[in-house]
């Protein structure tokens, strides 16, 4: 079962935090980390776990 975590991420030393998702497989290995629209995050950034959640509307198995 895929696991979805809400996260807050920032590319600029946590000055502006944006919502996103950390998506994990049932072994709790991260599949990808995205912004709130499902775009995969790239480059160096900091992020924090917010809460476990349900699949976002854009998610396709």
Partner 1 sequence: MVANINPIYARVSDVQVGGAVIGTNANTATDGTGANTYEIFDSDATEGSFVQKVVLKPISSIAATVARLWFCSATGTFTGGTTNTAGNTTMIAELSIAAWTASNSLAAPQYEIPVNFPLPPGTKMLMTFGTSTGAATTGFNPLIIAGKY
Site residues (vs partner 1, CB under 8 A): 5, 7, 10, 13-14, 22, 24, 27-30, 33, 41, 43-49, 51
Closest CB to partner 1 among residues 15, 60: 15
Closest CB to partner 1 among residues 13, 57: 13
Please provide the DSSP assignment of 1-61 as one string. --EEEEEEEESSTTSS-EEEEEEE-TTS-EEEEEETTSPBP-SS-EEEEEEEEPPPTT---
Closest CB to partner 1 among residues 43, 57: 43
């Amino acid at each position: 079962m895929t696991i979805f975590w809400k996260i807050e991420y920032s590319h600029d030393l946590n000055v502006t935090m944006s919502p996103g998702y950390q998506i994990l497989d049932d072994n709790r290995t991260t599949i990808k980390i995205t912004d709130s629209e499902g775009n995969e995050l790239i480059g160096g950034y900091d992020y924090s776990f917010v809460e476990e959640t349900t699949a976002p509307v854009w998610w396709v198995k």
